[in-house]
Amino acid sequence: MYSEKVMDHFTNPRNVGEMADADGVGTEGNPVCGDMMKIFIKVKDDKITEAKFQTFGCGAAIAVSSIVTEMAQGLTLDEALKITKASLAEALDGLPPQKMHCSNLGADALRKAIEDYKSKQGK
């Protein structure tokens, strides 16, 4: 059902955990619906230097969280905002159709984390 890449990111998720001193935090989803994703970022010079996540959700949700944090690191905020559901699915070598939309909250959570950072900066 899942690609090897999904299985890899699900069984060995990168960047797991809380970030006490995050510059931005974004939460998307709701456990009532089966998935909730929390993304923490550190930002320096408009670039994401570090990203971590905590996720409640299915295998796809965890893999998406893992890859979005991996992809975000090193990007400028503007570049990071261009990450989409589609680009995450592509980076994972595809997601099953029913997972495409319901567990693929990574881009939204990242966007919220960036917005959180920006609002804290008063930008």
Partner 1 sequence: MKKIYMDHVATNPLHPEVLDAMMPYFKEEYGNPLSLYEAGMNARNAIENARESTASLIHAKSREIIFTASGAESNNFALKGIAYALQNKGKHLIVSKMEHHSVLNTARFLEKQGFAVTYLPLDKYGLVNPADVEKAITDETILISIIHASPEIGTIQPINEIGQIARGKGILMHTDSVSSVGNIPVDVDSLNVDLMSFAAHQFYGPKGAGALYIKEGTRVVPLIYGGIQENGRRAGTENVPAIVGMGKAAELATRDLQKRIDHVKPFRDSIIEHALNIENLFLTGHSEQRLPGHASFIVDFIEGEAMLMLLAGKGIACASGSACSSRALKASPVLISIGIPAHQAQGSVVFTIGEDTSQEDIDYFNETFQAVIKRLREISPFTKGWEGTEDSACTVKK
Q: Which of 55, 80, 92, 117 binds partner 1 (CB under 8 A)?
A: 55
Q: How far is the CB of 62 from partner 1 (least distance, A)?
A: 6
Q: Is 101 in the site for partner 1 (CB under 8 A)?
A: yes
Which span sits near partner 1 by CB under 8 A: 50-58, 74-82, 87-95, 115-123?
50-58
Q: Which among 47-55, 69-77, 87-95, 112-120 is the span making contact with partner 1, rule CB under 8 A?
A: 47-55
User: In whole angstroms, what is the distance from residue 55 CA to residue 63 CA?
Assistant: 10
Determine whether 58 is an active site residue: no
Pick from 48, 61, 89, 110 the residue near partner 1 by CB under 8 A.
61
SS (H, E, C) the chain: CCCHHHHHHHHCCCCECCCCCCCEEEEEEEHHHCEEEEEEEEEECCEEEEEEEEEECCHHHHHHHHHHHHHHCCCEHHHHHCCCHHHHHHHCCCCCHHHHHHCCCHHHHHHHHHHHHHHHCCC
Contact between 74 and partner 1 per CB under 8 A: no
Answer for which of 98, 119, 120, 121 binds partner 1 (CB under 8 A) is 98
Which residues are catalytically annotated?
Answer: 33, 102
